[in-house]
Amino acid sequence: MDPGACALACHCEGESHPPSPREGTHKHAPAHIQRSCDIIQNAQPTLASATERDAGALKIMKIKQGKVIHFGRCSIDKNSEVLSIHFLYKLSPGKGHRVSSSPWVEGSSMHFVVKKITHSLLSLSLTGLIVYLGMMVGAFVWGGLADRIGRRQTLLISLSINSVFAFFSSFVQGYSSFLFCRLLSGVGIGGSIPIVFSYYSEFLAQEKRGEHLSWLCMFWMFGGIYAAAMAWAIIPHYGWSFQMGSAYQFHSWRVFVLVCAFPSVAAIGALTTMPESPRFFLEAIHHLVQFNSKNGKHDEAWMILKQVHDTNMRAKGYPERVFSVTTIKTVKQMDELVDMGGEATAWHQRWRIKLTNLFHQVWGNFLTVFNPEYRRITYMMMAVWFSMSFSYYGLTVWFPDMIKYLQKQEYSSRTKVFIKEKVEHVTFNFTLENQIHRNGEYFNNKFLNLKMKSMVFEDSLFEECYFEDITSSNTFFRNCTFISTLFYNTDLFKYRLINSKLINSTFLHNKEGCMLDFSDENNAYMIYFVSFLGTLAVLPGNIVSALLMDKIGRLRMLAGSSVISCVSCFFLSFGNSESAMIALLCLFGGISIASWNALDVLTVELYPSDKRTTAFGFLNALCKLAAVLGISIFQSFVGITKAVPILFASGALAAGSFLALKLPETRGQ
């Protein structure tokens, strides 16, 4: 027997039912048997044909009345629609798509809370980009592991890490602890994107692969809508808070962070009922032999194929068409085994050997994507991913910041200014908002149970005043003097007292912890509504790409959408009002999503199964690096000029669309 081949003896039931004419038959076996036994083994990767790349050969045998009948050589791609489509419709809507929405919820959540957890002494950019750093690391690490220990197992581990640290981040009080939790949460969620696409694609027929992967992309949109809707509904209620003593406080943004962890928890529950990819079991089986110390997973692979087959046959109205596997004979992959030292070796040494060898496998597999066979494809894909990520993430963050800038300009125009006022024996128990007080004198005044929002006191004197139960945001005292003044249960931290003097003044039970601040949120509801609209605007692009992906091809979809997105960037220079900027945001998002869908499908199909998530993870990590650069560069021009961000984005999109045309088309392969 060929070293890469296995012999399968299977017993099939319900043979009396004739095959449907539209199903076709094999000259040596009933059609339903052949469909049940379409598998892949020891694929030899080539760039010319995805079918040849993912379709290995296997001699399949059926025992019937004491005779062995050879089915010949067949491919999983040939009949995989029968093996997968009905099964996926049963599996995906309630389970798999929950997995696909959780990464976007995680990525979107920090965009809404980044400026709620920091103040002027802390770096806003560090807080905002820490999740991207974690996702970049996670995409690379988990993508490589998924090609070695399995898609489902790796996805469960990564989502569990995300859920645990996302939960912790909503409760920790220290800023450093929060950053650490968000970093590890990002590491966990970073691996889900490359794994989900590879995992889902390996159940799909090539005729419908582009369409169904585009429908999968739509659930990223649902995740974004969920995050925007929850932010809109929860964060602006900054009165939603409770405290335990003076040290622990729980504000509305913490509720939002906690709510955004729910999709990952639901995804973990769904994954426990989902099978591993049979294509992974059969093609990457020699890697499992070493790590799991088992002689392969062919039995599990065939049981999954049986589950798929039975589900599809019941959906077609042929429940009697079932098959069962009795025996599988495989040749051990001796070249993949590692001497573990025997039973006498300590358990920690065996695990050290396993993990060390796993690391070398992951790293070695990563280097193979730069082999001559894949080098040109990898470099071109790197350029396309980088250009699209740089422009897309840069613009999508620049849009809301431009809207915030326009709102801030309008809000500042309504600021009331008071100069040299003198106030004595007055009790303030109402909200103070959007005011500037200069050279004022305040004697024996009480500030009780009130909110101060966008208040500035400059060169003012406070003598024998009393502040109690004060909640402030964007409020500062500059060059002020406090004499015999008491602060009780306030959040007027020292960073709010800029160059101010405290003479015989006392702070009692000062509020501590990571405080909520709406300093850049003059119209919070509007900001979240804009994000909600921008996310919802990608729905038409998702539908169009799903319907046309398998008709016009991946390259035409990718290049065409990128060119139209490039043209739409030109109109950004005419957006001088808030409504115009919102409309342009929706237009850009609706167009560019089609190119992202095409790029995801193309990435899945350009690499064989044993390198698929490794390559996807590496490219996705590069995507996060480009996003960090794009966000940092574009944000630096907010309020200065629109020309530079527009030129950067247009140039990157134009370059990406040109390079995309040089990639091989994978439709129908």
**pLDDT level of residue 406 (50, 70, 90 thresholds):** confident
**pLDDT level of residue 381 (50, 70, 90 thresholds):** very high
251 and 311 inside one domain: no
More confident residue, 539 or 74: 539
More confident residue, 397 or 347: 397
Structural domain range at position 182: 98-274
Tokens 């990525």 sit on residue = 107
Of 286, 310, 326, which one is at a domain's C-terminal end?
Answer: 326
Quote the number of domains for the chain.
3
Over range 348-365, report the average pLDDT.
80
Over range 417-441, report the average pLDDT.
92
Q: In this structure, is residue 498 part of a structural domain? A: yes
Residue 450 pairs in a beta bridge with: 470
Q: In this structure, is residue 51 part of a structural domain? A: no
254 and 294 inside one domain: no
251 and 105 inside one domain: yes
303 and 248 inside one domain: no
Which pLDDT value is given to residue 62? 30
CA distance 587 to 565: 9
| Range of 88-92, 460-464, 605-609 with top mean pLDDT | 460-464
Mean of the per-residue pLDDT values of the chain: 73
Q: In this structure, is residue 126 part of a structural domain? A: yes
Q: Quick one: which of 384, 114, 87, 321 has its CA closest to 227?
A: 114
Q: In this structure, is residue 581 part of a structural domain? A: no
Tell whether the model's pLDDT for residue 400 goes beyond 70: yes
201 and 293 inside one domain: no
Q: Quick one: which of 371, 355, 454, 370 has its CA closest to 413?
A: 454
Q: In this structure, is residue 296 part of a structural domain? A: yes
Q: In this structure, is residue 161 part of a structural domain? A: yes
Which pLDDT value is given to residue 214? 85
CA distance 454 to 431: 11
Of 519, 534, 561, which one is at a domain's C-terminal end?
Answer: 519
319 and 442 inside one domain: no
pLDDT digits (tens, 9 = 90+) for 176-200: 888 888 889 888 888 888 888 888 8
User: Contact 453/432 with Cβ under 8 angstroms?
Assistant: yes
220 and 173 inside one domain: yes
Which pLDDT value is given to residue 113? 57
Tell whether the model's pLDDT for residue 417 goes beyond 90: yes
Which pLDDT value is given to residue 484? 94
Tell whether the model's pLDDT for residue 75 goes beyond 60: no
More confident residue, 594 or 402: 594
Q: What percent of the chain has pLDDT over 90?
A: 14
Question: Token pair of 418, please?
Answer: 């008071």
Q: In this structure, is residue 503 part of a structural domain? A: yes
510 and 497 inside one domain: yes
- What CATH number did the domain enclosing 256 receive? 1.20.1250.20
Is 0.85 topped by the overall pTM? no
pLDDT digits (tens, 9 = 90+) for 519-535: 444 455 666 777 778 78
105 and 131 inside one domain: yes
More confident residue, 127 or 609: 609
Over range 272-296, report the average pLDDT.
62
**pLDDT level of residue 437 (50, 70, 90 thresholds):** very high
User: Contact 298/282 with Cβ under 8 angstroms?
Assistant: yes
237 and 306 inside one domain: no
- What CATH number did the domain enclosing 461 receive? 2.160.20.80
CA distance 222 to 225: 5
Instruction: Choose the weakest-confidence range: 41-45, 216-220, 234-238, 271-275.
Output: 41-45
303 and 249 inside one domain: no
Q: In this structure, is residue 385 part of a structural domain? A: no
Tell whether the model's pLDDT for residue 77 goes beyond 60: no
pLDDT digits (tens, 9 = 90+) for 214-249: 888 888 888 878 887 887 777 766 556 656 555 566
Which pLDDT value is given to residue 344? 57
User: Contact 503/485 with Cβ under 8 angstroms?
Assistant: no
Q: Quick one: which of 431, 306, 247, 359 has its CA closest to 33?
A: 306
108 and 164 inside one domain: yes
Helix, strand, coil abundance in the chain, percent, nearest 5: 60, 15, 30
Of 476, 503, 519, which one is at a domain's C-terminal end?
Answer: 519
Helix (H, G, I), strand (E, B) or coil at 316: helix
User: Contact 175/117 with Cβ under 8 angstroms?
Assistant: yes
Which pLDDT value is given to residue 104? 52
User: Contact 482/505 with Cβ under 8 angstroms?
Assistant: yes
**pLDDT level of residue 292 (50, 70, 90 thresholds):** very low
